[in-house]
Amino acid sequence: MFDRDRQAHGTLPGALDLQAGCHGLSQSAMVNWIRDFGNTYHARTSRFPVIETTISWWQQCTGNNASFGQDYPLWIDRWASTPGALPSGWSYYSFWEYADHGPYPGDQLRFNGDAAELARLASG
């Protein structure tokens, strides 16, 4: 999409991939780091990044912090037949990574919405 009075649209927000260890940070320090990253990203793009994580990582490394669900889209990684429980603060997921292989190259993802909702997410 393009509007002459605005920049070109149609790119999904960047993803902050959080699933490989807590990197020596306490839960509160990790929450602060995520918040700082998200605020910096938002200041530069006017959007918040998608948070990609697993329920176990989120519980272990943030203490299941509930403060990000309102502004940050969720990409839940769970290679199973359902997305399962979501981290605190999110009532739905935007993306579900359900397998590491399949009919398409790479990880297999499902968007939780219709084409109009995907276009809204891509347009910011």
pLDDT in tens, 77-113: 999 899 999 999 999 999 999 988 888 878 888 999 9
Query: If you count DSSP H runs as helices and E runs as strands, how many of each does the chain have, helices first?
Result: 3, 5
pTM of the model: 0.85
Residues 9, 123: contact at Cβ < 8 Å? yes
Fold exhibited by the domain 16-123: TIM Barrel (3.20.20)
Q: Which residues contact 84 (CB under 8 A, 6 or more apart)?
A: 55, 76, 78
| Mean pLDDT taken over the chain | 89
pLDDT at 9: 57
At 97, phi and psi to the nearest 5?
Answer: -90, 110
**Would you say residue 34 has pLDDT above 70?**
yes
- CB-count exposure of residue 48 (10 Å: 0-12, 13-18, 19+): buried
pLDDT at 106: 80
